[in-house]
């Protein structure tokens, strides 16, 4: 596992606890953060969580207080798969591919969530983890948040899956766009091309996000421009984690096939090149981007940089014009079935 060094010497002791209350100056806090660039063990969720344990242990040994994993790290990003879908039909093999993918997903809450929470508690770190969430028979691309005390904090479901992702993942709603106030800063996350949705970003800015996590599957160089823009626009640190995968990280054909390619990639062919990066509120690249292999990419985040950046530009503060431009976020859950009798009984019990 390659390691991209932090902006200060790697190996300094972990800051076990940061007190940002009681009159302390939060802008004087230094946070060591790591983004993980590694592949899923596809179709093997237990082995993937074991791998996550090893990666978090390594990051914690360098003093990291926050570890961010890529999109769909648990459950896998099914790169190259069509699930047998054409307009008007779905193949039998594609349906079986979905069954196997559904089996590799996790329930939230559930035993796998408990395992990840235990990892966070064992190494005393915050974890932001990309997963495929199973809710009955529908899957969601989701990010889970954990604290250093081994507690699951909550989740963000991808609001808008991209292109063929819409065939296999459900759509999130406004009820899972959290920003968590923690001793190391306010942490939130959007997934992959959600980060290109200006109004959704604004919702995070409105909640005061300071450490903006961007798990992704986009390894193109143009992704870096988006990450830099968000750091400048939001006056926040941006931590983007992507998988680095070779063909051999997926099951061999015919169990798993890469559609659309002129020929089947060789086992060592790179199918996702990473590009994980950490960027400061001033737009400075602190670590990465890395396109060379699996890596832990680490940097020290000086929260004072947020204050200095906001002096120039505070998108939901002094640089806003709410009398001209405003955003309304519908942040309540959207249910396909609503039983009025149960809702009325609950209302009566509260009154």
Catalytic residue ranges: 71
Please tell me whether the peptide bond between 254 and the residue prior to it is cis, using omega within 30 degrees of 0.
yes
* Residue 44 buriedness (CB in 10 A; 0-12 / 13-18 / 19+): middle
Neighbours of 103 (CB within 10 A): 11
What is the sign of the dihedral through the CA atoms of 113, 115, 120 and 124? positive
Q: Which residues contact 66 (CB under 8 A, 6 or more apart)?
A: 31, 32, 33, 34, 125, 126, 127, 128, 184, 187, 211, 239
């Amino acid at each position: 596992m390659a390691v991209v060094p932090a902006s200060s010497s790697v190996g300094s002791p972990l800051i076990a606890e940061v007190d940002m209350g009681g009159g302390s100056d939060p802008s004087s806090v230094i946070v060591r953060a790591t983004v993980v660039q590694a592949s899923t063990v596809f179709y093997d969720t237990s082995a993937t969580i074991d791998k996550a344990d090893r990666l978090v242990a390594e990051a914690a040994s360098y003093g990291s207080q926050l570890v961010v994993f890529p999109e769909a790290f648990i459950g896998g990003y099914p790169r190259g798969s069509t699930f047998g879908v054409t307009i008007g039909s779905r193949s039998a093999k594609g349906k079986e591919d979905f069954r196997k993918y559904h089996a590799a997903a996790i329930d939230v809450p559930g035993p796998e969530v408990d395992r990840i929470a235990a990892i966070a508690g064992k190494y005393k770190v915050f974890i932001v983890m990309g997963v495929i969430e199973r809710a009955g028979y529908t899957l969601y691309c989701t990010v889970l948040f954990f604290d250093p005390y081994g507690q699951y904090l909550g989740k963000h479901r991808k609001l808008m899956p991209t292109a063929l992702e819409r065939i296999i993942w459900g759509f999130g709603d406004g009820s899972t766009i959290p920003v968590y106030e923690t001793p190391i800063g306010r942490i939130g996350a959007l997934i992959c091309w959600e980060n290109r949705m200006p109004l959704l970003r604004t919702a995070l800015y409105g909640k005061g996000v300071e450490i903006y996590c961007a798990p992704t599957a986009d390894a193109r160089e143009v992704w870096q421009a988006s990450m830099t823009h968000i750091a400048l626009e939001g006056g926040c640190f941006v931590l983007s984690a992507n998988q680095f995968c070779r063909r051999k990280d997926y099951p061999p054909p015919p169990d798993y096939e890469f559609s659309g390619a002129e020929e089947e990639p060789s086992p060592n062919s790179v199918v996702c090149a990473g590009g994980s990066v950490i960027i400061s509120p001033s737009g400075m690249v602190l670590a990465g981007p890395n396109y060379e292999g699996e890596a832990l990419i680490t940097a020290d985040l000086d929260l004072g940089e947020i204050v200095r950046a906001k002096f120039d530009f505070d998108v939901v503060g002094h640089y806003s014009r709410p009398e001209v431009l405003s955003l309304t976020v519908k942040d309540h859950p959207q249910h396909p079935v609503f039983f009025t009798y149960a809702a009325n009984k609950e209302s009566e019990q509260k009154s």
